A = this chain, B = another copy of it.
Amino acid sequence: MNSFGRSFRITSFGESHGPAIGVVIDGCPPGVRLSEADIQPALERRRPGKDPLSSPRKEPDRVEILSGVFEGKTTGMPIALLIRNLDARSSDYDELKDLFRPGHADYTYQAKYGIRDHRGGGRSSGRETAARVAAGAVAAIILKEAEITVSGTIEEIHGVTDPGYFAAEIEKAKAEGDSVGGIIRVTATGCPPGLGDPVFSKLDALIAGAMMGIGGVKGVSIGDGFDAARMKGSEHNDPMDRHGFRSNHAGGILGGISSGADIVVRLAVKPTASISLPQKTISRTGEEAEIRVKGRHDPCIVPRVVPVAEAMLSLVLVDALFEQEKYRRFVKE
């Protein structure tokens, strides 16, 4: 389904080249100051067409609040946010109507639904993430009141870890008609202990699901992640003293519940599937073909995934905060 969250629940809709994309936020508390101006900056960060390295599609991405806000404040009712699609050049995709682009959802959507909106990837397009970013901006306002900050950064592009060389690495791929991936770290500071539930709804389980639900993400880790598999217990366990944890190998989560330390998440983003180099593929009728993907694509989507990953972590945390509220009256210190 196209909903995410339990107590702070979003439902997103829309295709890359349809009339609009949008999101309905259900569970936002009443009394929160909110206007379009609070959401627009987050959309700007994700927006295509800003620099030579991102897709040249020019979308103003103007968000409209359709409901749930009265006299500048939320009312507790569902908040519907709408973003019209304007610069959709669907004819660029005519050729792709019958050919499956390697690394894309074309083949699997066709197999599942027997029909697909091929224009710009339809619902599987990265454009859908604008809805998440808009919802994440609302979540961030609530987190701010709770003094929780979420921020993401690029750690690697195509194996390069020096930020000074990231642009060069992407330009090189672009010049080759190829693409590159990378690694993102997202951190939440200020989280109180106690967020998350045991067993299936562990905070890290919710985060992993949220992050792996972003297109192009192939791996998620918490704290030391895969490195933890190569450590000893005596190295990995975070000792405590009266000031709190003395290290943070765990990445802020123990037994699925936040510990109060920074929550540290990493995402592995694959290289953009759309490349202009020739690739072998098949058509809908099963004939072999060669494809060169046209259209307007980012040679590296990592920079644009950063705000999406921040949005998803913000959504998970607000949701966990509200779930946690239910217990607070009953916990005796």
Which of A37-45, A50-58, A322-330 participates in binding chain B?
A: A322-330
Interface secondary structure of A, over-half rule: mixed
Closest to A103 in B: B237
Closest to A270 in B: B228
Q: How far is the CA of A232 from the CA of B206 in the complex (A)?
A: 29
Query: CB within 8 Å of B: which of A37-78?
Result: 64-68, 70, 73, 75-78
Do the beta carbons of B333 and A114 come within 8 Å of each other? Answer: yes
Distance of A146 from chain B, by nearest CB (Å): 10
Whether A240 contacts B77 in the complex (CB less than 8 A), given A111-B257, A208-B212, comes out as no
Inter-chain contacts of A11 with B (CB < 8 A): 3, 11, 24, 26, 78
Q: Is A255 an interface residue (CB 8 A)?
A: yes
Do the beta carbons of B233 and A103 come within 8 Å of each other? Answer: yes
Whether A229 contacts B270 in the complex (CB less than 8 A), given A13-B24, A75-B123, A236-B181, comes out as yes
Complex interface bits, A247-265 against B, C-beta within 8 A gives 1, otherwise 0: 0001101111111100000
Closest to A221 in B: B219
Do the beta carbons of A66 and B113 come within 8 Å of each other? Answer: no
With A4-B200, A115-B332, A215-B256 already in contact, 13 other A-B pairs whose C-beta atoms are closer than 8 Å? A2-B198, A15-B77, A75-B113, A102-B240, A103-B237, A112-B331, A114-B330, A158-B232, A204-B213, A227-B268, A228-B270, A236-B270, A242-B286
A–B Cβ pairs within 8 angstroms, 18 of them = A2-B197, A13-B78, A15-B67, A18-B66, A27-B326, A31-B114, A105-B257, A106-B255, A108-B254, A108-B258, A124-B198, A159-B229, A200-B213, A204-B212, A218-B223, A220-B221, A233-B271, A239-B279
